[in-house]
Amino acid sequence: MAAIVVEELHKSYGSLHAVRGVSFSVEPGEVFGLLGPNGAGKTTIVEILEGYRRRDHGRVEVLGADPATAGRDLRRRVGMVLQECAVEPYLTVCEVVELHRGYYPKPLLTDDVIELVGLEEKARVRVKKLSGGQQRRLDLALALIGDPELLFLDEPTTGFDPSARRNAWEIVRGMRKLGKTILLTTHYMDEAQNLTDRVCVVSAGEVVRIGTPASLRAERAETRIQFIRPDGVSVPEVGEVVPGGEDGLMAMITETPTKALHELTAWAVARGLELQRLEVSQPSLEDVYLELTGDE
């Protein structure tokens, strides 16, 4: 049985049709990424699954229950990291985690969870005094303390510095190894690429693509070749010339990189030229994402 089922989900706010017939399902043990630009409807979808919002139409199932009516039993099995969500500022990290621990039937140990999110040095510090990134880690700790089967992470690493993000990724990977199901939303393509088994790209309330990060990247077969344009010579166009992104950088994309590269380097070698900063790259998930969501 799927951990999450969403079928033909619709939600409007007044005249704004925010979610337009979204369908997907998440298997147990899967890390599923919901990607999309701001206003695409990601948070609305997640909040319907979390039980915060009522859907207008469609079928939704979370761990076999309808989140709109399931209540406390479902919330015991689910952990959530919400966007912008305060914690009692005058309690310490340890006190808040311990308080939340009491809400669940089979919680983890407070010290373990605090250590897991890397807040052990701040355990006796009041929440008020934590930095934004540290508060976000506390959010993660509160989502984990109940030892949930399913985790909703709505932009869990926004505001993290790079090392804190890597750390959060390790936590998510650790959760995955323990067999937890995770649904996360993110703006960061490297996050989706590194963490998720499958991603669902939404744009303007509709699903534009569902697949593994690798399968999405494979949709764009072109390889990109780029280098510093040599002075005073005209370079053969071995592929479609695209904007280089910075001054003096020449970029071409091709579906036959071996042949194109051979022609290019043969041409350069024949003239005794060294192509500075020569680089051959596959399209990233970000390129595909930007193309799919029409932001390019």
Partner 1 sequence: MSDLAIGLRQVRAEQRAFWRNRAAALFGFGFPIMFLLIFGTIFNKQSTCVDGTIGARGQCVGGAEVPYNNFFVPAMAAWGVITTCFSNLTIGVVNRRDNGLLKRLRGTPLPSAAFVSGVLGSALISAVIVVALTAVVGHLLYQAPWPAHPLPALVTVLLAGLVFCVIGLAITPFIPNADAAPAVVNFTSLPILFISGFFFNFNNAVFADIAKVFPIYWFKESMLIAFGAEPSSSGWNGQDLLVLLIWGVLGLAVTLRFFRWESRRA
Find the angle CA(206)-CA(209)-CA(212) to the nearest 5 degrees: 140
Name the residue nearer to partner 1 (CB basis): 16 or 269.
16
Three-state secondary-structure class, residue 263: helix
Query: Rounded to an integer, what distance in angstroms lies between the CA atom of residue 238 and that of residue 225?
Result: 9
Name the residue nearer to partner 1 (CB basis): 95 or 197.
95
Residue 250 Cβ vs partner 1, minimum distance, rounded to whole Å = 46
Residue 261 Cβ vs partner 1, minimum distance, rounded to whole Å = 51
Could you tell me which residues come within 8 angstroms of residue 78 by beta carbon, excluding any fewer than 6 positions away? 50, 62, 63, 148, 149, 150, 151, 152
Q: Rg for the chain (alpha carbons), in Å?
A: 23
Name the residue nearer to partner 1 (CB basis): 36 or 146.
146
Residue 113 Cβ vs partner 1, minimum distance, rounded to whole Å = 14
Residue 78 Cβ vs partner 1, minimum distance, rounded to whole Å = 8
Binding residues (CB under 8 A) for partner 1: these are: 13, 50-52, 72, 75-76, 78, 80, 82, 84-91, 95, 99-100, 102-104, 126, 142, 146
Name the residue nearer to partner 1 (CB basis): 47 or 287.
47
The DSSP bridge partners found for residue 26 are 4
> Are 152 and 50 within 8 A, CB to CB?
yes
Looking at residue 122, the DSSP 8-state letter turns out to be: G
Name the residue nearer to partner 1 (CB basis): 154 or 287.
154
Residue 89 Cβ vs partner 1, minimum distance, rounded to whole Å = 8
